[in-house]
Amino acid sequence: METDLFLAWFEEAARLVRENRDRLNRLDAAIGDADHGTNLDRGLTEVLKALDDSPAGSPAEVLTTAGTTLIRRVGGASGPLYGSVFRQMGKSLETPVTLAGFATAFEEGVVAVERLGKAALGDKTMVDALAPASRALALAVRDGVGVRKGLDQAARAAVEGAKATIPMQARKGRASYLGERSIGHEDPGAASAALFLEALATVAA
């Protein structure tokens, strides 16, 4: 897993988020501020600019730059949360990057966002997509599958995790104030997290 793959990851993530911006905003309108897609689109545009202005020399540098930029440029909760995932991954990732090393760094990134957001699986947050993806990566490493298949399995787990938030009642974030009215809506953070995993699987294919 080379630096070019990580650069392509954020390019594809930016494309997917832009393509799904209105959908993410609609999901957020039901249980939040209706700006998740707009904020994330703007943040990823800034990430691509930052990576272009200061070319990264390693996968870890790509992740650190992306995380720092998201924290600085994205409004609401998603900037600090996504930023913490990628910055922690950047701190943890060792070169050369293997699937096992990536899985470990990803798991540490998920732990970082769980700690920052004080969220756990089942709270109807981005963790509900990220945690299943992390488990899928760990299983892929255990089973000795290749990078492409492992990332594809992680993406599928993230999509399923995001869909699984629909019948949940939110226990964290602004959505939690809605109580039972939050039931029946896909969590926008989980939906965007699934897009990040889908983007990675796409560029690795």
pLDDT surpassing 70 at residue 16: yes
Q: Which of 39, 36, 116, 47 is nearest to 74 (CA)?
A: 39
State both tokens at 172: 């964290």
The class (CATH top level) of 3-204 is mainly alpha
Using CA atoms, how far apart are residues 72 and 65, in angstroms rounded to an integer?
A: 11
What is the model's pLDDT at position 98?
93
CA distances 106 to 133, 151, 170, Å, are 9, 11, 24
What's the mean per-residue pLDDT of the chain? 90
**What confidence category does residue 21 fall into, taking pLDDT thresholds of 50, 70 and 90?**
very high
pLDDT in tens, 80-129: 999 999 999 999 998 899 999 999 999 999 999 999 888 888 888 999 99
Both tokens of 205, joined, read: 């294919």
Domain layout of the chain by residue ranges: 3-204
Going by pLDDT thresholds of 50, 70 and 90, the confidence category of residue 157 is very high
Provide the CA 24 distance to its chain's centre, in angstroms. 14
DSSP string for 25-75: HHHHHHHS-S-HHHHHHHHHHHHHHHHHHS--SSHHHHHHHHHHHHHHH--
- Given a cut of 80, is residue 169 above it in pLDDT? no
